[in-house]
Amino acid sequence: MLDFRPDEEQKMLTDTIARFARERVRKVYRDAEEEGEVPEQLARAGWEIGLLSTAIPEAYGGFGEYSVVTGALALEEFTWGDLAITFNVMTPNLVAIPVMLCGTEEQKAEYLPLFTTEVPPKFTAGLTEPVVQFNPYKLKTSAVREGDVYVLNGSKTVVPLADEAEVILVYAAEDGVTQAFLVPIDTEGLKIDARDKLMGVKALTTNLVTLSDVRVSIANKLGGDAGIDFSLLLNHSRVALAAAAVGVARAGFEYARDYAKQRVQFGEPIAHRQSIAFMLADMATEIDEARLLVWEAAWLLDQGKNATREVTIMKQQVDRAVMQVADRAVQVLGGYGYIREFPVELWLRNARGFTTFDGLAII
Amino acid sequence: MISFEIPPFIENQMQLIRMVAEQAMRPYSRQLDENEHERPDAFVQMTWPFTQEMVKRTLKPLMAQTNGNGNGTNGSAKPKREGPDYSMLSFIFMIEQMSWGDAGQYLCLPHPMLGGAAVDSAGTPEQRVRFLKRFTEGEPKWGAMAITEPGAGSDNSAMRTTAVLDPDTNEWILNGEKIFITNGALALRDSNGLCVVWATVDPKAGRAGIKSFVVEGKTPGVTIAKQENKLGIRASDTVALHFDNVRIPYENVLGDQEVRQVESRKGFQGAMKTFDASRPAVAASAIGIARAALEFTVAKLAEEGIVVDYTKSLHEMTAVERDIIEMEARYKGAWLLTLRATAQMAHGESNRLEASMCKYRAGDAVTWITQKAVELLGPKGYSREWLAEKWMRDAKINDIYEGTKQINQLIVARSILGYSRRELK
């Protein structure tokens, strides 16, 4: 029945991730951003928390405790630490979760055990395309069946960790419907192109990937002949991203709140002024509201409900909230907010990405 | 465990309330709006049997605890229960659905309402039984609460209504003026209801001197000084009350033996607890109006062939579709904040921060949503032929009563910053 309190296991998990975010991620995130690289050791440590293997069914070597709500709780804590590092650590999810939700028995048996190993498998996915009017339901990348193979053409952008990937799950339109194809990296016609130069999440390596007459076996079409339920996958991705957004927003809010309490002007902390305090109250409220919207959508997915409408509504609100909160955080810090010595400008740049990040995370 | 599942008994109850809203509220909405101060008789007659049962259910465990006559207890401890107490949750759902029907009429519910919230929050089990039992029998009765004064709005400490103990008769004598009292006339003049009146036993003591007192219906010395004419919620009367040497029994001060002492300073905290319940209630009412406006707008636009496709990209959506999605998002977000504050009550947790959060967010949301509805419906939205313009006028009160948006922001701000009243004015 109606309850908004995480259970004991969820609390243990979020405590673990919160500690990791605070003690490990926050120590390196700024350097990682400036250097454009996530330290290998940290990425491994993040993977070893075992978020994904917990979700994989027992039959495939995991713990079978898949829950979107739990995933949302975990993601918020993780991205509170840093968004780019979270995306990096969770890149294998981009293949594991779609296989788990939409794969055939053969595909599950072949791929899912790979995600329960100590070393993260080098899998990634490409959904976003380098266009202005991007619509995941109407992809420009095409898949045409020719006998026993599919021929893929098009280009994908913001493909995380593509440079070292072994398999890329490529989303493409087959007869106008979005489908997904597992493409080994050495397939002829697949090219890992230039690294993207993004406004934020700079620690995460993402690339342009081009496909010209890439031929893959029909066995590599996710979900077999029936294909995938793309709206289901997109909903799972959007809930993940929204949970990630809440973590970013909370990071900004908490920093601004603490700053406002110690920054003295006119003889007292600026938080003593309603102009500042009310901004912080609005930020806290927007974050709580966004989190509840995320949880509700996550819960609906856990119930197996079709939640496209709820997810769309939720996504628009959360995208707006994270932007607003991150912007206010910079504002509260004033001039210091604009300086890279302080973290809030980074969170503002990351926040702006959520309207573009479709496909960059999934739970 | 995080869950959004609504208890089945509430789902069942909602069907009944929806019927009330459709049959006894909506058909009278326009008439009651145009004829201010007319009473919503159909609604009152239809709901009185139902509210009597509701109050009976709430009082039942208390009756057992107090041996039916109020003996054997002291202190304001809540009765022990197994598992969560969903009575407030079911009330919140009822408020939402009734306000979907008509927010002004909902306020005329023959029920303890705000007065009941005050008695529940600050009263002992014995007092709750004694004062609320009247809502389970006889003719319809109403409850009210009187806090605001001409010189004391958000600043309760400026309150000038006094309560003086007459040692000869062991009665409190109330004097002063209270304004903006919802149901003040129904509670005190037109029925044997009750009004919880905040008054000070020591005007120099500020908040510390404030206690809450129960004035029962038809008590001599109470006069209705003025009936306000309002922007909206016109089916609900808002009055000014004059208290002229109003004598009430010593036992009518809410709280335990300690609070009752003239020199005790504990009354104010108890009185303030009322808001922890009343703010989610106001938020729920706001959300009912928001849903009414939203559903109506979506239905009318659908008749024009405008239907939101939730799989469109932002580039493909029209401005109207984006507006509707934002209306839905703000409605849903505020509702979830309200459910959270209420669920906290069900689980016996403190919810002061969350109660203020949901209240100010819901007031803000419904104000915006209903204004948007009038906008999207064009000339027909502005016309009094439809109810959209009325809902917009009704909605605005939620931004104001039970603490303005700004007062609730202030409470949220103090809470998240860990600041006292002195640090954050």
* pLDDT, tens digit (0-9, with 9 covering 90-100), for A262-276: 999 999 999 999 999
Among 2.170.190.11, 3.30.300.30, 3.40.50.300, 2.40.110.10, name the CATH number for the domain at B8-272: 2.40.110.10
What the block records as the tokens of B390 is 């009325």
CB B249 within 8 A of CB B228: no
The residue ranges of every structural domain in chain B are 8-272, 274-417
Q: Please give the pLDDT value at position B157.
A: 84
Q: How far apart are CA B165 and CA B159, in angstroms?
A: 18
| Helix-strand-coil split of chain A, %, nearest 5 | 55, 15, 25
* C-alpha to C-alpha distance for B199 and B163, rounded to whole angstroms: 6
| Phi, psi torsion values for A178, nearest 5 degrees | -70, 125
> How many Å apart are CA A82 and CA A90, to the nearest integer?
12
- Our answer to whether residue B402 is catalytic in this structure is yes
Could you tell me where in chain A the CATH 1.20.140.10 domains are found?
230-355
Q: Which residues, 6+ apart, have CB-to-CB distance to A334 below 8 Å?
A: none
Q: Which residues of B touch A319 (CB under 8 A)?
A: none
Q: CB of B86 within 8 Å of any CB in chain A? A: yes
| A280: nearest CB among B7, B326, B413 | B413
Please provide residue A209's backbone torsions phi and psi, each rounded to the nearest 5 degrees.
Answer: -125, 125
* B228 contacts B131 by C-beta, under 8 angstroms: no
Query: CB atoms < 10 A from the CB of A259, how many?
Result: 21
Start-to-end C-alpha separation, chain A? 24
Question: Under CATH, which architecture does the B274-417 domain have?
Answer: Up-down Bundle (1.20)
Supply the pTM of this predicted model.
0.95
Tell me, what's the pLDDT at B71? 47
Report the alpha-carbon distance of residue B55 to residue B134 in Å, rounded: 9
Return the number of other C-beta atoms located less than 10 Å from residue B144's C-beta. Answer: 28
Q: Which residues contact B359 (CB under 8 A, 6 or more apart)?
A: B279, B280, B282, B283, B402, B403, B408
Nearest chain A Cα distance for residue B244, angstroms: 39
Q: Do B333 and A6 touch (CB under 8 A)?
A: no
Residue A202 reports pLDDT greater than 90: yes
Q: Which helix (H) or strand (E) segment is B410 a member of? A: helix B405-417
Q: Is B2–A300 a contact, with Cβ atoms under 8 angstroms apart? A: no
Q: Quick one: fold of A230-355? A: Butyryl-CoA Dehydrogenase, subunit A; domain 3 (1.20.140)
Looking at the predicted structure, is the pLDDT value of residue B66 above 80? no
Cα–Cα distance measured from residue B425 to residue B412, given in angstroms and rounded to the nearest whole number = 13
The CA distances from residue B170 to A125, A291, B196, B213, in Å, are 79, 53, 19, 14
What is the DSSP pairing of strand A149-160 with strand A206-217?
antiparallel
The answer to whether domain A123-226 has CATH 3.30.1330.10 is no
**Residue B80, φ and ψ in degrees, nearest 5:** -70, 140
Phi then psi dihedrals of residue A336, to 5 deg:
-65, -25
CB A211 within 8 Å of CB A189: yes
Number of H helices, E strands in chain B: 15, 7
pLDDT category of residue B68 using cuts at 50, 70 and 90 = low
Give A234's contacts (C-beta < 8 A, 6+ positions apart): A136, A137, A311, A358, A359
Q: For the purposes of burial, counting CB atoms within 10 Å of the CB of A290, is it exposed (0-12), middle (13-18) or buried (19 or more)?
A: buried
Q: Measured between beta carbons, which residues in chain B are less than 8 angstroms from residue A260?
A: 417
CATH code that applies to domain A8-116: 1.10.540.10
User: Using the 8-state DSSP alphabet, how is residue B78 labeled?
Assistant: P
Q: State whether B312 and A135 contact (CB < 8 Å).
A: yes
The per-residue pLDDT for B264 is: 80
**Is A133 in Cβ contact with B409 (below 8 Å)?**
no
Beta bridge partners of B162: B175, B200
Contact B313 A7 (CB under 8 A): no
Report the 10 Å Cβ neighbour count for A109: 12
pLDDT surpasses 90 at B395: yes
The distance of Cα A333 from the centroid of its chain, to the nearest Å, equals: 27
Beta strand segments in B312-410, E? none
Split at pLDDT 50, 70, 90, the class of B75 is: very low
What tokens appear for A265 in the block? 């002007």
| Nearest alpha-carbon partner for B356 in B306, B318, B394, B409 | B409
Which residue, chain included where needed, has tokens 């957004």?
A: A245
B80's CB contacts (< 8 A; 6+ apart) are none
Nearest to A299 among B4, B86, B337 (CB): B4
Q: Which two structure tokens, joined as six digits, stand for B240?
A: 């000014």
Average pLDDT on A7-12 reads 96
Show residues of chain B in contact with A296, CB under 8 Å: 4, 332, 336
Distance (Å, rounded) from C-alpha B183 to C-alpha B216?
13
| Residue B74: per-residue pLDDT | 44
pLDDT at A52: 95
Give tens-digit pLDDT for A274-330: 999 999 999 999 999 999 999 999 999 999 999 999 999 999 999 999 999 999 999
d(CA B339, CA B93): 9
Q: What is the pLDDT of residues B405-424, one digit of tens each?
A: 999 999 999 999 999 999 99
When pLDDT is averaged across residues B112-127 and rounded to a whole number, the result is 94
Q: Average pLDDT in the B239-251 region?
A: 97
Could you give the CA distance from residue B149 to residue B321 in angstroms, rounded to a whole number?
A: 44
Give the number of other Cβ atoms within 10 Å of residue B160's Cβ.
14
